[in-house]
Structure 1
Amino acid sequence: MSIRDQISSYRRGEDERRRQTIGTVNRETIEGYLWSIPYLAAFVVFLLWPLVKGLYMSFHDWNPLFPSESTWIGLENYIQIVNDPFFWSALWNTIYFVALTVPTMVVLSLGLALGVNRNVAGKKVLRTIFFSPYVLTIAVVAIVWLELLSVDFGPINYYLGILLGISPQWLTSRLLAMPSLAVTTIWWLLGFNFIILLAGRQSIPERLYEAARLDGAGTWRAFRDITLPQMRNSILFVVIIQFILQFQVFGQPYIMTGGGPAQSTRTIVYYLYQSAFNQQAYGYAAAIGYILFAILVGISLINYFVIGGDADE
């Protein structure tokens, strides 16, 4: 095509784009807005409006039957939370649970991802096995582990009794209850992290490792200088997601321990649930929810700046 023909074709394209413009807005932009309306409607109805309504409720002594009769109390709910020992106990329990689960899941899933990425027999079968627990609901997972950890009839205590002559009280001991919930959670969610990190590892060009081997780099040096920097975004995603999820843990203590023994497994979300539905303190529960929201935002920002660092530079 000659230069003249190219210029003519370009001008025809410009004229066509000009005809597809309505006022000062491109037709594609208008179509994009139209296609996004269903999502925006769902976002407003199911996320934005509950957020605003929850914030409004947190400043009231909320009456769920007659909302118009709710009493404005300002920051009283938040002041009460600061002075509430049960809230601080629930916060500590949640932090303890997060400390048990998140680092363990990240390290184990990274190890599994790097191991399966090697040329090992049955890689597809291993991927299926590692990921399969994640497809279960928390109710199923909790019931399965209730049976496994049963003191009198559970297989874990059965074999521990044969081998070591012990029968730990997994879910009724203050020392063992939270670690037991942590093990349940790790088993359940490890596969999700594994898949994300495996995808991150497989996106690294193999030529980088070949160049490192030519330079005499060993396995540890290649892991430190290539694998970790290249997988930083994947690791950051997994860490932030798991912090957010585990700070909102509810199903495991609700089904497996009921917050016990002696409230040692009562987490923030479980305490929020009790405040709202057991004590009918909906405004107080909404305030707890917003404090949890602030904590999650702060943790996400810390993780982003600490782990993310200058990833984009």
Structure 2
Amino acid sequence: MAGSTQSNEESGRIDLTRSATREWIAGTTFAIPYLVTALLFLFGPLAIALYMSVHDWNALAPAQSQFVGLENYRTLVGDPDFWTALRNTVYFVVLTVPPIIVGSLLLALGVNRDVRGKWLLRTIFFSPYVLTVAVVGLLWTEIFNASGLVAYYIGGGNWLTSYDLAMPAIAIATVWWQLAFNFIILLAARQNVSDRLYEAAKLDGASTWRMMRDITIPQMRNPLVFVVIVTFVGSFQVFGQPYIMTDGGPSSSTTTVVLYLYETAFTSRQFGYAAAVGYVLFMILIAISATNYYFLAGDRR
């Protein structure tokens, strides 16, 4: 009897091992396409860019590129144009990130309420996101020019040629365009919050603000963290809007880091230096993402 029990235990362990092996093989098989794609289009380019950043890169004859070590990074530290571009980018982030996050959250909470025509509101709020950056840029260029709607109703002439108004104009266009993506994410998150929590809170006499603070925000924490990080990263990488609407002007007031990188690489042909700029931006984004996650994720870290 004891021998039979031992045999059954050994057979069970063998079955578990085989099952685990099959799961590992299946998981690995499904992961291989992603790993190959990531290697070719993510980690590979990152490694190549790092290699380029320590060379005076010759795009026409890479073999003739000269190794310069950290010279490109030292040049970057003393480059006033880079710091101007970084300052413009931070200004753009300040103008866009809070309105996009707060606005998309308010829209999601508002549409989630029991109002007539919710499907139409969802369609209207999401529709800008289906447009390409080229369409958005050209559309808002017409709105902000001297004969456009903004100048007609508010004044100020052509905002895109004003040193002080050009960046706010680009920010307004971006907020209008990017609200939609976060709106859909947060709407889905709000719909996953159980209504029983709100019913119990109402029985306890909780106010709307208290339910928002103690139920809605905590229950939506993970999607909110995702939205905040993605919005910060996207705003720091802004390129298409200033490129199309102002081409970095007037007087470099809307030149962002990515636009400066583009001009350095494809106008000045300083590919090694442009790669260094890209890596500095990459490290800034990692630091910002880690900081946001640390302070927003809370005890779920």
TM-score (norm 2): 0.93
- 1:11-59 superposed Cα distances (whole Å, 9 cap, x missing partner): 98766566x57xxx71231232223222221111111110001001100
- Is contact 1:181–1:253 with CA below 8 Å preserved after alignment? yes
Map 1:167-246; keep pairs closer than 5 Å: 167-246=156-235
- Aligned partner of 1:294 in structure 2 is 283
C-alpha distance 10-208 of structure 1, shift in aligned 2 (>3 A): farther
C-alpha distance 223-17 of structure 1, shift in aligned 2 (>3 A): closer
Supply the distance in 1 between the matched residues of 2:194 and 2:26 (Cα, whole angstroms). 38
Alignment identity in percent? 57
Of residues 43, 67, 72 in structure 2, which corresponds to 1:72? 67
Of residues 36, 41, 56 in structure 2, which corresponds to 1:41? 36
**Matched residue pairs, number?**
296
- Is contact 2:145–2:157 with CA below 8 Å preserved after alignment? no
Supply the distance in 2 between the matched residues of 1:192 and 1:9 (Cα, whole angstroms). 55
- Is contact 1:94–1:267 with CA below 8 Å preserved after alignment? yes
Supply the distance in 2 between the matched residues of 1:49 and 1:76 (Cα, whole angstroms). 23
Supply the distance in 1 between the matched residues of 2:168 and 2:45 (Cα, whole angstroms). 34
- Is contact 2:185–2:223 with CA below 8 Å preserved after alignment? yes
Supply the distance in 1 between the matched residues of 2:264 and 2:46 (Cα, whole angstroms). 18
Supply the distance in 1 between the matched residues of 2:91 and 2:14 (Cα, whole angstroms). 64
- Is contact 2:95–2:168 with CA below 8 Å preserved after alignment? yes
More displaced stretch, 69-78 vs 141-150: 141-150
- Aligned partner of 2:300 in structure 1 is 311
Supply the distance in 2 between the matched residues of 1:151 and 1:13 (Cα, whole angstroms). 79
Q: Which runs of 5+ in 1 are unaligned?
A: 1-7
Q: Secondary structure at the match of 1:174?
A: coil
- 1:119-167 superposed Cα distances (whole Å, 9 cap, x missing partner): 0111111011101111111011111111111212x23323x1xxx6x34
- Aligned partner of 1:118 in structure 2 is 113
Q: Which runs of 5+ in 2 are unaligned?
A: 1-6
Q: Which amino acid aligns with 2:63?
A: S
RMSD: 2.0
Of residues 84, 87, 96 in structure 1, which corresponds to 2:91? 96
Of residues 96, 102, 107 in structure 2, which corresponds to 1:107? 102
Map 1:269-288; keep pairs closer than 5 Å: 269-288=258-277
- Is contact 1:240–1:303 with CA below 8 Å preserved after alignment? yes
Q: Secondary structure at the match of 1:224?
A: helix
Supply the distance in 2 between the matched residues of 1:89 and 1:146 (Cα, whole angstroms). 23
- Aligned partner of 1:259 in structure 2 is 248
Q: Say whether residues 1:58 and 2:47 are aligned partners.
A: no
Q: Say whether residues 1:144 and 2:146 are aligned partners.
A: no
Supply the distance in 2 between the matched residues of 1:308 and 1:224 (Cα, whole angstroms). 16
Q: Which amino acid aligns with 2:241?
A: Q
Supply the distance in 1 between the matched residues of 2:87 and 2:149 (Cα, whole angstroms). 31
More displaced stretch, 217-226 vs 74-83: 217-226
Supply the distance in 2 between the matched residues of 1:210 and 1:190 (Cα, whole angstroms). 30
Q: Secondary structure at the match of 2:299?
A: coil
Q: Which amino acid aligns with 1:118?
A: R
- 1:43-101 superposed Cα distances (whole Å, 9 cap, x missing partner): 11111110001001100000111111111111100000000000000000000000000
Q: Which amino acid aligns with 2:179?
A: L
Supply the distance in 2 between the matched residues of 1:196 and 1:10 (Cα, whole angstroms). 48
- Is contact 2:101–2:228 with CA below 8 Å preserved after alignment? yes
Question: Relative to total residues, which structure has the larger helix share, 1 or 2?
Answer: 2
